[in-house]
Amino acid sequence: MSDLNNYAISVIRTVVPITVGNAITSFEVFLGVDLDNAALQVAAVSAVTGAYYLAVRFAEAKYPNIGLLLGWKAKPIYDEAPPAG
């Protein structure tokens, strides 16, 4: 895979969980939660996004195809950095 492809995959696998976290927390009314405070909204989106990402990553270790829930099945492949100096 080229570096551009790896970069695109890493962006996709970052943006999708953020989008899912925002979407889930936008249904606060249906969940019976009142998030009028902006700080609570930010905290809720962060918590839901983080929980979603962690759950998918842990499940992905056992079931690789579940990576699709992050927007792309394959993880990006990073080259090892050359030793410092």
Answer whether residue 56 is part of any domain.
yes
CA dist., res. 8 & res. 6, Å (int): 5
Containing structural domain, residue 23: 3-70
- Domain tally, the chain: 1
Answer whether residue 22 is part of any domain.
yes
Answer whether residue 48 is part of any domain.
yes
Answer whether residue 49 is part of any domain.
yes
Answer whether residue 75 is part of any domain.
no
Q: pLDDT tens digits, the chain, 85 residues: what are they?
A: 566 688 899 999 999 999 999 888 887 766 677 777 778 888 888 999 999 999 999 999 999 999 999 999 888 887 766 667 6
Answer whether residue 82 is part of any domain.
no
Answer whether residue 20 is part of any domain.
yes
What pTM was estimated for this model as a whole? 0.78
